[in-house]
Amino acid sequence: MSTENEGTEGIAQPAAPSVPPVPAPAPDGPVAPAPASGDAPGAPPHPPTAPAAPQTPAAPAQQAAAAPPPPYQPVAQPPYPAPAPQDTVGAAYPQPGPGDQGAGWPPQPPALPAYGTNGPAWGAPDHPVAPPRRRRSGVLIAAVLISALVAGGVGGGLGYWQANRSDDGTSTTLTAGELPKDLKRDPGTVASVAAKALPSVVTIQANSGGGGAGDLGGPPGRAPGGGTGTGFVYDKEGHVLTNNHVVDSAADGGTLSVTFSDGKEYAAEVVGRAQGYDVAVLKLKNAPSGLAPLPLGNSDRVVVGDSTIAIGAPFGLSNTVTTGIISAKNRPVASGDGSGGRNSYMSALQTDASINPGNSGGPLLDSRGAVIGINSAIQSTGGGGQSQAGSIGLGFAIPINQAKNVAEQLIKTGEPVYPVIGATVNMVDQGEGAEITSQGVDGTALTPNGPADKAGLKEGDVITRFNDKPIDSGPTLIGEIWNHKPGDKVKLTFERDGKRNTADVTLGQRTGDN
């Protein structure tokens, strides 16, 4: 059912006659004059004396004709014939169907004008005609829509014309799917540093053929006496710098092989190693030409918070790169093989870069790619500084300034040289300083005519500062001493009988690990 005529459904209106009806014979008496042509439009015409009988609706409509008609509402007539309505009677006023008999049917008859009883005069509309506002509104909306579409079309056309006009072949616009041909990374990024450093980092495989300490941080499952560690190219002659505990098992009668990041493998031999420093130098057999040694930084100028990059072979996974920062400096660390008599001491750089078993001997780089330390030990929940447990963010590296001094001495003589003060100190107690004691290996507290003896120190003195560094234990004191060279002058602060004293000491030397 159409909703355009809601409220009028069920009212069937007759159509206006298209030609004047034939009047019936005039009755006796005067005849009312026809309306003058000059009457105002819309005025009700004078009803004729004998109008033609109207076209009567269906019989049901005649039964309802007794209802009083509504008052006549004149409709303005246009000066020209109004266009016939487009809606047909059947469409605008549906007739009852067979199933529509019931309430509301038959429909009410059309209202008759007040001036006559037999219907309107010919040519007059028999029902009010609504002004054509709906059509005009529709025309207006259509005009607006057409205008908008035309405006859109013109705008689109202008845009296309302008784009076409601007397309002179110099446009640099890229589609979403295009990528630069070369992905360039800025210098100093981790990717850039790693790409430059990896060709100079090697994975070391040590095999002794029997039992041995091997790499205490090596991957599990290796044969006894074997281990995996890391090293890096020290110079163009084929020297490789690493940890002593990486190669210890193969130092006497074992074999060593070195594998570069490109997969090329070379045999190597031990040039020299320093167990106390935990530093070793290897030499490649038939070293290839074009070796690129890693640049060495200055570990004394490192500060807490500096970025770090560690490269190594954790658990045998070669060429692994991890990052972190310098967490602390001058961290006293003692590491060893567990026998109690073969410990190494360092005043280490602490980093949170992930270091695991197999990273030992690998480089710790700064953000420029310069070596600032040699990764050597980790603290784990498993106990000692080196164990099969993984990283918990506590890694320790030998400062490169110290490692460089040791490496130069090993390359030159094959033996390490240690700076000493000529005194034996307590290596167990911690917190009060380093006490000079006779409970050493040889039972002597001071080396006669040694540096400490010459400076006036005695057994029982407690050393509390080394230069400007606080000392809380024997290992801390040794780590600080080994950061210097023989012949260096240092200032010791010590306590004797509750009093603080100072002494200037010139460091002596000891050659070899025995």
Give the residue numbers marked as catalytic. 245, 278, 360
How crowded is residue 255: how many other Cβ atoms within 10 Å of its Cβ? 14
∠ at Cα 298 (245, 470), nearest 5°? 75
CB 243 within 8 A of CB 360: yes
Q: Which of 251, 273, 355 is nearest to 313 (CA)?
A: 355
User: Judging by DSSP bridges, how do beta strands 279-284 and 239-242 pair with one another?
Assistant: antiparallel
DSSP three-state, residue 425: strand
Half-sphere exposure of 387 (CA within 13 A, CB side): 12
Compute the residue count for the chain.
Answer: 514
DSSP state of 486: T
Dihedral sign computed on CA atoms, order 472, 475, 478, 479: negative
Q: Which amino acid is at 14?
A: P
CB neighbour list of residue 126: distance below 8 Å, 6 or more residues apart: 13, 14, 16, 110, 119, 120
Bridge partner list, 280? 242, 273
Sign of CA dihedral 481, 486, 490, 494: positive
Q: Name the nearest CA neighbour of 482 among 409, 383, 411.
A: 409
Burial of 494 (0-12, 13-18, 19+ CB in 10 A): buried
In the chain, the amino acid numbered 163 is A
